[in-house]
Each structure stands twice: as C-alpha cells, then as structure tokens.
Amino acid sequence: MKKGIHPDNYRLVVFKDMSDDFAFLTRSCAPAKDTIKWEDGNEYPLIKMEISSASHPFYTGKMKLVDTAGRIDKFKNRYKHLKK
C-alpha cells in the first residue's frame, strides 16, 4: 500500500440519524461542528445524518418519506408558475 495517503487524525465521533433519533459512536476523521453528551458521560463531536440503516427502507422494509427543511414545499413553490 502507498504510505501517507490515509489520514491519521481519527477520533471518536457520534453519528446521529435525525429522522429516527438513532445514534452510534465510532471512529472518524470527518469534521463536526456540534457536540453531544454520550451515554458514558463524555462529550463527543456530532455528525448529523438524514438517513441511516435505522431509517433506510432497504433495511427497515418500510417506506418512510423524509422531508428535511421542507424540500418538497420549496420545489412546489419554485415551479408553481408552470402549473396550468
């Protein structure tokens, strides 16, 4: 393998699925702006996700509409002048 191509700044990070309130703690080097207090009492960087295995239809077997920040309404308002 090539040397020096992998980051070396891995740390513990919490990933949280905002549509299902499912969270897990793992190692990552992804940047995070927020923090969260985890079950062990420590505070970790938080990375918010819109979908994960806890809410994805492939894994759950259920269709679930995820509308973050009113995207459907924004789309309808943008193109309502074309509707006749």
pLDDT single digits (tens) 10-21: 999 999 988 888
Q: Is 75 helix (H, G, I), strand (E, B) or coil?
A: helix
pLDDT confidence of residue 57:
62
In terms of residues, how long is the chain? 84
This prediction's pTM? 0.64
pLDDT confidence of residue 29:
92
- List the structure tokens of 82: 């074309």
State phi, psi for 36 to the nearest 5 degrees.
Answer: -145, 145
All residue ranges of the chain with pLDDT < 70 are 56-69, 84
pLDDT tens per residue, range 44-55: 999 998 877 777
pLDDT confidence of residue 80:
82
